[in-house]
Structure formats: structure tokens, C-alpha cells
Chains A and B, each alone.
Chain A
């Protein structure tokens, strides 16, 4: 027995047995792993949405003796520049902080720069004003050059314009500059005589317009001004907290549109955000607000205070806005810097460089870094990591007041034409859409499927059931894309054309069915007993057919007499609801059709598995067929029926192609069955291919998928747990 060959063989067999057991166990655990992987991955991808902004100090270095007026950085975060009051622009490397190039704006002796302002969010065009009232406009370019695959940033300076601001001896108190996309240059400054000067250089006609707008205003001292990036709006704030709104789009004739009281305190700083709609103001008490124009009840545009932000301890001195999104930083007299995001009304972070006042600051072009210089000329470079400022719990699930909207609302509009677009990512319309579609599908399919299951399992002849069951089972396997396409291309026009027929048929079918019930009563009981199984169905069919015929003959005359020949039009005129071709009725029908087989199959299984002994006992005690079904069969099968409905619900919630093809995919919040909706699943399918990887939209879509996963997980588990419980409760026989 124990020859070497045998031992070898035995060894091999045992080894194989062991390997097999490992591999097979791995297969079993693989299942848990798969579902865990899906869940974890969805969480992993959507979790960063909740992360807060992060600021990291790279380095601080002294930037010379002269006061710094203006700063900036290139888009690769390699170099930065600072303009000092003596006209010196020094370019230094971000990493070594060494000055490698100095360019000069020629100033006279004793001439100092007092204000400088960047004119655009797209490039580094700026204007400055000196104590001799000279205004100089220039552009700094930081061009990337590639040599041997190494990038080098080459700075250059170009003077665009130089002129003298006539201010008849007054000193300048405030200076702003805008360089719009049309290359128009708009300068505005106020002087100690409280004159509000406006000078516009129109690029198209190369014409210069000069205005003094003080006449439009009261005698209040002007404290701050802002021109929007397209150069169409000028807003000035005064010492008493009043704001003046000028329309300067007509270069020849600027006009005052509106003025209003913003608060009790002086307006010390203001700036327009990216997108040109929102105005950020800061006041002497440290309050920061965002305003944008909203049409009031009379149809007049008025600036409204939309958001209020965290208060500064001291008065707000400077505001800088990001050129990427709606982030802005406010700096107070005490040197504290606060980063806010306008849409979400969220304060991302608060920091200070030192205890000193801040003289200048700047965002990098990609808003991924911040430059800050304080009174002691120490310049700090910070990297800013704020990947998803536009998304917060509030924007996803609460009403948000978006620019241009009359009031806070739930809006889904994830992408727009330009970079200046304000992404609107509220999941509420999507969740609502999914639930709306599911609701219409369920009210349509649940009664039909369960009634049919009851009939097939309890009353129909066995042979008939043997045909119907597999047929319906196959229906469950029908690709949803086929159902969706039929709904979108065949049923929606069909429904639209025959809307009256549809309504009328639904109304008239119960009437005819009532006839069927009543006439059935007059068939004598002893004859009924002799009837073969399934004859009820044969008996009802003619009534259904009659209802159909009656509806097709009568619906047109009725539509003509009562609804002016066109019921769709009538809905629009009388009930003020527009009938969209691809609407929730169609989706409910199609989605219901997809769900019916699932509910039918599972509940039919449950119903026919009720032990014969139970029903026989009930019948023997004298219960009628229906009484047996109602009192015995349905309670006993309740667990199965509940599971069936839950599984149908799960399918309806997650179904993608049908809702994608049969609705208009418009994210609206109305329960009206005559218009469409936008479901979560369809949104994922349509938008994920275009979403930039790891961007906000990408993560929000993953969050949507996670929600879908959780919804269906809960529903499935409920189906399993409650189904089991009901089964145990009723099926203990």
C-alpha cells in the first residue's frame, strides 16, 4: 500500500484539495469584497467634497525697503513680482525667493506711486497713479519658454499709456482701473475735493471721454469705488454707508441708476466678483456682504444684499477676488485675512501673516496660491488648496440664491458656456425627479402586477398559468433601452395625439367594468360553478373591448364639444399647465412596464407557494374563493408580495435608459404629470463623460451614485428583512 508512487499521489491530492479550498474561499469572499469595493470607492471619490480649504505657508522673505503697491504671480507658480512705490518692479523666484530681474517704470524725482489697480482678471494689466497725479498704464507678461524640456518664465513690461489726471490741486484719495475684454480702459479716481472722476478710453474709436460724476451724488464723502470687469457698471460707496450705482456702458453719458443705503457704517472697500454680477462690499465695522441685482416685483432691477459673511474685528481695507471662481479675500486694518466663497456663503479660512497691517495681496492666476505683503515689507507665499469651494452640504441639499435668480432655489445646472459660469449643483431636483418617476411607475404597476399575480396564481387554469408565467418572466429580461426608445419615439407622440382618448378610456373602463360586475351577478350560481377556470377573464374581455371601442368613437366628439377640439391646448389655456411630449405619464407607463414583470413574478411565486392545505381548509369551511384569497392567501404571501414591491421599487429608482430617453431631462421641481423630470441615474449617464476627472462635478456625480447605491441598498435590505419577518409571521403553518 505504502509504495512511493502512492504516497506521491496522496500528497498531490491533498495539496490540490488545499489549493482548491483556498481558491474557492477567495471566490466567496470576493463577493463581499466586490460590494465593499463599490461602496468604498464611491465614498472615496465623493468624500473630498466635504474637505475644507487648506492654506500652507511656503516662505516669507523681505521685499526691499520701499512700500509694495502691487503684486502678482505667473500661472505656473514659479515667479512673482512686486511693484514698489518708487516704480521698481522686481521679479523673484518663488522657490529661492531671489530677485532675478528688475524693471523700472520711470518716475520723476520725488514722485511716488500712491495707488495701483489691476484692470483685469485675465492678465496682468494695471494702472497706477502717483503723487504728481500722473497715471501710467502698463502690462506685465510672464511668458513660459521651453528649453530642453525645462520651463523658464520670462518676464516683460510694456507701458500702454501715460497721462496726467487734472485734479486742480486736490490730492488723490482713491483710484481704480478696469481693462475690459474689448480693450476699453476705464479709470476712476476721487480726490480730496470729493470729485468723482471718470475717464474712459474707448478702444474701438480710440476716443477719450471724461466725466465728473459728483453732481449725481450728495455731498457725502466717497470712500470706495468699483467698476465691474466688463466696464459697464460703476458703484461708489460713501462715508454714511450709501451706495451709488452708475451705468457707464454709454461712454458719452454715464447715468445714475439707483442709490440705496447699505448700512450705517462707511463702505471702505468693494470689488466685483468673477462673472461680473456680484459685488462684495466691506465696511468700517468689518461687515462683509455680497450684493447682486435682482428684479423686484415691479420688474425693476435692484441690488439686493444676498449674503453676509463672517465679521472682521476691524474695518475692511482691501478686497481681492479670484479669477477662477467666486472666492474672495477680505483684509482688515488689523492684518487679518478671511477667505470666503460667495455662492455657498462659506468662510473657507481665516489667517494673518503677522500682527502688522497688510499693504498688498494677490491671488495667483489659477487661485492656487496667495501672496501677502505687510507693512514691514515681508512677503509671504501661501499655497491654497481649495478644490471644491462651490460644493457644500448647503449647496447640495438647501436652497441657494444664485446670481440672476429672483430668490433662493434648488437648481441643477452643472455647466455653462464660459469659465465665469456659476455652477449650480443642487441634488434636490435630481432626487425629486427620481422619486417622481418612481412614484408614477409604482402607482401604475403595483395594482396591475399584483392583481394579475392574484388571478394567475389563484383563479386561472394551471395550463394558462404555465404559459403566462414564463412569458412575463421573459418580459423582465427585455432590455430597458428598447422600452425607453419605444416610450420616447412611439408612445410619447401617440399619447400626445390621443390624450383625450387616453383620459376618456381610463374614465369609461370602470363604468363598463361595473356593467360586467353587475351582469355577472345574474349568472346563476349553479352555472358559475360549472364554468371552466378562467372564464371570468373571458367574460371581462368583451367589456374591456367595448370600453375601448366606445372611447375611440366618443373621444373625438367629446374633445370637440368640451375641450375646443384640442385638449392639450385646453389644458394650457384653462389649467395653465403645458403638456410636454416627453412627460411623466409616458415615463410612468414605460417604467411601470419594466417593473410589472418583476413584481408579478415574485408575488406570483409567493402566492402560489401558499400551502394547498390552508386554502382547502378555508374553502371547506364555506369561504368563497375571494374570501379565501383575501383572508388566507394574501396574508400568508404578504412577505413575498412586499419583497416584490420593494424589488420593483429598487429597479424603478435605478433605471437609467428609460428615464433618459422618455423624459425631457429638465431638472424641475413639479409633481405635474404633464412635464418631465431629470433623474439621478440619467444625470450620471449624461454628465459623467464630460466631467473633468476629480473635479467638483465629477465628485458630485459620484455622490449621486452613492446616494442611489444607498437608496437601493436600504430598499433591498428592507425587502429581505421585512419580507422574512412577514413570511415568518403568516406562513407558520
Chain B
């Protein structure tokens, strides 16, 4: 017993305890990142389509989505375990639901029919079924072996026509109307007949489709290509169906625009402040107050910046701009409502301490000898700062900029109330004079996650989209941070070698 006491006194158990703390922390980190990686990446994979037949004869066609075990407590306190599987059956317009839970015991057979096709539609989500007939250019095709190819051809043709039509509409020619009408008729004549799992036949115009594929026939390579294409559409495409399908390009674009505008505002301010702190101010009460301010700015909750931005920038400054310059539009606000300018200003304030701290580090890394040398040669203080301090502190400034960007890209709460919307009708940058519209509302990746995951009417169908958006956001933020760390390390090395 005594030896045990001695053992504890010497403290090895505590060393083990601290290692347990680390293990748990790391497991959590890995778990968090792992989930997002797996869920965010797997959604683009074209998984096989299964045809499920139940005891009562009903058939479902869809992708295996998840499974769980339901426990049912009987009145006599015995417990039955009912395994269930969930299929994504699509066909929301026909079934009224996207997902179906099925008791495993109900299933008679599961097969992977080779010609099962997944249709991505512009509305109502996916459709699962078998192509039975394709009609275009006045011909009908029903032979099994050519159906898929013909359908692909028809889709291309249809997309071509839609494009043509859009061009005609843009041109605004009055005599183009006839042509548009004709094209319309032609487009709607391109049709496809699909048999769903329950045997019902549905005819669709191909213009309603985005694409389709037969996953059960694809080999690994084809699937990989399809996978990469899906990722590309996700990054470059426009959102569909209240953001639950399609891509996130406008959100990426909005995030980038906001971040650029924010950087333009925050970097000069932050650098000036850091230079002042280290080169101009007398170290004393004043610098201590400024440093305390910087510290506290860093600690103020982001939502407080948000409400400040709303009250001060939008209602006070924006409202005044409206009354002076845009009074003809009132009561419809121009700048007196959330917009990319106000959101960027708010975030600039929020990221200010990041830039100041990083720049300070950079400035401190500039060897004293260099500075004194410049002054000794007769340079003025400003010349010294411009030629010696700022160039040498550049990595620090850059680090600050990158960290600010990463913070700005991930922040949501203050943006929610200063100008982010779920679906912006127009981008803040376009080809219409004056090209950049600082009063416009914009979309943002972080807000996209919140909105799609928590505000969308069909959360279950939207969740995969949220994971991929989250993954994208994480990749951006992690990349930026790695870059910052890399720069900082380089700077520190330089600093070490320059000090003597």
C-alpha cells in the first residue's frame, strides 16, 4: 500500500492523466475533421442504385442512405430490435417524399438493375427510374441498347436550343419573338419517358433535367470522373431549389469580394497603428492603453461588432447617405440597409487586432541595427520606415492579412445582420456601370451553411450540401492558416539569422 502512495506521490499517474487529456483532445479533433471529410466528400460519389422489393409487392428504387436499429419496448417489457434502412428514393413530385425508411424484415429482394438511371432535375430533386422512350428531332427511340446514348444526345440538343433561346431573348429583337416561340415548341417536344420503380410511366421535357447517369453500369474510373465533375459543378455552379442543390459559386464569389474589400480597409489601418505603436509612440501609458484596446478589440464578441455595424454603419451612416444622396428613392433604402460595404467595414473592425498584432511582430523582427544605420545615414524617420521597416516587416503584414482573411471568411454572426442574404439576386460586381455595387447584398459560404442547414424547408435533403460547403470553407480556412504559419516561421528564421 505504501508503495502505491509513493507511486502517486512521484506522480507518474498524473503524467498518464495528462496524456489521456491529450488523447481525448486529439481524438475529438480527428473525429470532427473526419466526419466533415467523409460526409463532405462522399456526397459527390455516384453510389449504386438499388431496386428493393417489399413483401407487400411495393418496389422502391434509390440509393442506400443510412441504417439504424429501432428499439421497441413491448408491454411486457421485453425489447424488440427492428433494423431499418433508409433509401433516397427521390421522385418527390410523385411520392411526396425524398427518403423512405424500410423495415429490413419487409424486404424480399434487393437488386442492382444495370439500366437504373439517376436523373438530376432542376426542380423537385433527383428522379430514379428507367428510360423507356426518348423523343427528339421528330423521332422516337425505344430500343433498350440505344436509349441512354440517345437520351444524352437529346439532352445536349435541348441545352443547345435553350442557349440559343436565351441569346435571342438577350438581343431584344422584336422579330425574334417568333423564333423564340418556335424554339419553345421544339424544346418542349424533346421528351423522355421514364418508368419509376412502382411501374408508373412519367413523361418529362428534357429541358427540366440537369443530367443523368447509370451508376450501376459505371466502373471505378468512370465513377471517379463523374465524382470530379460533380465537385466541379459544386464549386462553379449556381444554387438550385432554395440552395439545397447545385453549386455554391455565388457564395464563394460573395465571400471573396467581401474579404477583398475588408482587406483593403483593414490592412492600411492596422499597419499604421502597428507602426505608430513601435516607431512613433513613446512607450508608456499611451501605448499601454492602445495595447489594451487592441487586446479588448480582439476579445469583443463578434455579434457585438455586428450590432454596432448595423446601428452605426447601416442605420446612422447609411441612413444619412440615403437622405442626402438617394432621397428620391426613399423610403426604399439604398445604403440604409445591409450591404457588402457595411459588412466589410464591420469585419474590418473585427479583424483589426489580428492585423495589428501580426504587423507588430513583423516590425519587431526588423533588426535595430538596420534602422539605426538608416537614420545614421541621414534618412528621415519616414524614409527609414518606408525603406527599412515596412519591406522587412512585409511577411508580418502578410501574415496579418492572411489571418484576417481566414477570420473574415469564417465569421457569420456579424454578417448575418449586416448584409448577407440566402440568395442574392445580383452579384456585387458585374458588367453594369459602375461595375462594383457596394450597396448590394451578397452571399457568403459560412452563412450558406447556417441557412441551408437550419432554415431550409427540407433539411434532410439539404444536409449533404451543408457538409460539402463546410468542407470547402474548412479547406479555405486551413489553407490560409497554413500559409500564415509558413510565412511566420520563415520570418522568425530570418529574424534569428539577422540578430547578432
A566 pairs with B73, CB closer than 8 A: yes
Mark out the residues of chain B between 1 and 57 whose CB falls within 8 Å of any chain A CB in the assembled complex: 3-4, 7, 9-26, 28-29, 32, 35-36, 39
**Once bound together, how far apart are the Cα atoms of A660 and B302, in whole Å?**
13
- Residue in A485, A544, A713, A720 whose beta carbon sits within 8 Å of that of B450 in the complex: A485
Complex CA gap A473/B454 in Å reads 28
- Whether the pair A560, B10 counts as a contact (CB closer than 8 A) is no
With an 8 A cutoff between CB atoms, is A60 at the interface? no
Contact check, B381 vs A451: say whether CB atoms are below 8 A apart. Answer: no
CB under 8 Å from chain A, chain B span 408-450: 409-413, 416-417, 446-447, 449-450
Q: Which of A32, A451, A705 contacts B303 (CB 8 A)?
A: A705
A713 touches B382 (CB 8 A): no
Q: Does A38 lie within 8 Å of B470, measured CB to CB?
A: no
Most chain B CB neighbours (cut-off 10 Å) among A38, A474, A481: A481
Interface residues of A in 474-492 (CB under 8 A from B): 474-475, 477-486, 488-490
On whether the beta carbons of B12 and A521 are closer than 8 Å, the reply is yes
Hey, which chain B residues are within 8 Å of A45, CB to CB?
A: 311
Beyond A14-B380, A470-B485, A627-B11, whether A685 also contacts B306 by CB under 8 A is yes
Expressed in whole angstroms, the Cα–Cα distance for A685 and B307 within the complex equals 8
Given A479-B446, A513-B16, also A626-B413 (CB < 8 A) = no
Out of A451, A481, A705, A709, which one reaches B18, CB within 8 Å? A451
Asked if A113 is an interface residue, CB under 8 A from chain B, the answer is no
Contacts of B137 in A (CB 8 A): none
Contact of A38 among B300, B310, B406 (CB under 8 A): B300
CB distance from B471 to the nearest CB of A (A): 9
Known A28-B272, A460-B22, A656-B302; judge A41-B311 contact (CB<8 A).
yes
- Interface assignment of B289: CB less than 8 Å from any CB of chain A: yes
A412 nearest CB across to chain B (Å): 17
A459 to B280, CA, bound (A): 43
B426 to chain A, nearest CB (A): 21
Residue among B294, B449, B478 making CB contact with A485, cutoff 8 Å:
B449
> A486 contacts which chain B residues (CB < 8 A)?
32, 35-36, 470
Distance in angstroms from B83 CB to nearest chain A CB is: 13
In the complex, which residues of chain A have a beta carbon less than 8 angstroms from the beta carbon of B292?
717, 720
| A interface footprint on B349-378 (CB within 8 Å = 1, 0 otherwise) | 100100010000000000000000000000
A486, A716, A720 interface centre (most CB from chain B within 10 Å): A486
Contact check, B16 vs A516: say whether CB atoms are below 8 A apart: yes
Which stretch (A15-23, A266-274, A285-293, A363-371) binds chain B?
A15-23
Which A residues between 434 and 473 are near B, CB-CB below 8 angstroms? 447-452, 454-456, 458-460, 468, 470-473
Contact between A720 and B300, CB atoms less than 8 A apart: no
B259 to chain A: which residues have CB within 8 Å? Answer: none
Which of A497, A540, A685 is close to B20, meaning CB atoms less than 8 Å apart?
A540
A537-B11 CB under 8 A given contacts A481-B412, A657-B450: no
Decide yes or no whether B383 CB sits under 8 A from chain A: yes
In the bound complex, residues from chain A placing their C-beta under 8 Å from that of B382 are 16-17, 19-21
Do residues A537 and B289 form an inter-chain contact, with CB atoms below 8 A?
A: no
A689 to B: closest C-beta gap in Å: 6
Question: Is B272 a contact of A13 with CB atoms below 8 Å?
Answer: no
B303 and A447 contacting across the interface, CB-CB below 8 Å:
no
Q: Looking at the assembled complex, report how far the CB atom of B202 sits from the nearest CB atom of chain A, in whole angstroms.
A: 32
Contacts A20-B382, A32-B289, A41-B312 given: A684-B306 contact, CB under 8 Å?
yes
Q: Does B385 touch A at the CB level, under 8 Å?
A: yes
List A contacts of B18 (CB < 8 A): 451-452, 454-455, 458-459
The interface size of chain B toward A, counting residues with CB under 8 Å, comes to: 101
Contact check, A537 vs B19: say whether CB atoms are below 8 A apart: yes
Q: Which residue on chain B has the smallest CB distance to residue A451? A: B21
Does B383 lie within 8 Å of A17, measured CB to CB? yes
How does the 8 Å CB contact mask read for A500-540 relative to B, with 1 for contact and 0 for none? Answer: 00000000000001001100110000000000000011011
Does B277 sit within 8 A of A, measured CB to CB? Answer: yes
For residue A681, which residues in chain B have a CB less than 8 angstroms away from its CB?
301, 303, 413
Are A31 and B466 in contact, with the CB atoms below 8 A? no
Is A323's CB within 8 Å of the partner chain B? Answer: no
The reply to whether A488 and B454 contact each other, CB–CB distance below 8 Å, is: yes
Q: Which of B4, B383, B450, B482 has the most CB of A within 10 A?
A: B450
- The answer to whether A26 touches B272 (Cβ under 8 A) is yes
Taken together as a complex, chains A and B put the C-alpha atoms of A343 and B148 apart, in Å, by 71
Contact indicator B296/A35 (Cβ below 8 Å): yes
Minimum CB distance partner of B24 in chain A: A448
Residues on the A chain within 8 Å of B449, using CB: 481-482, 485
1/0 contact trace for A413-448 toward B, CB 8 Å?
000000000000000000000000000000000011
| CB-CB under 8 A for A25 and B12, given A596-B25, A654-B303 | no
Any A CB within 8 A of the CB of B315: yes
Return the contact of B466 from the options A38, A489, A564, A713 (Cβ within 8 A): A489
B273 touches A31 (CB 8 A): yes
Cβ of A558 under 8 Å from chain B: no
List the 4 shortest-distance A-B pairs measured between CB atoms, nearest first.
A654-B301, A626-B11, A27-B272, A451-B21
* Known contacts A31-B352, A540-B19, then 20 further A-B pairs from the complex at CB < 8 Å, ordered by chain A residue: A23-B272, A24-B276, A24-B385, A28-B273, A45-B311, A452-B18, A473-B485, A477-B403, A486-B35, A490-B39, A537-B22, A537-B23, A565-B73, A596-B25, A625-B15, A626-B10, A629-B11, A651-B299, A685-B413, A688-B310
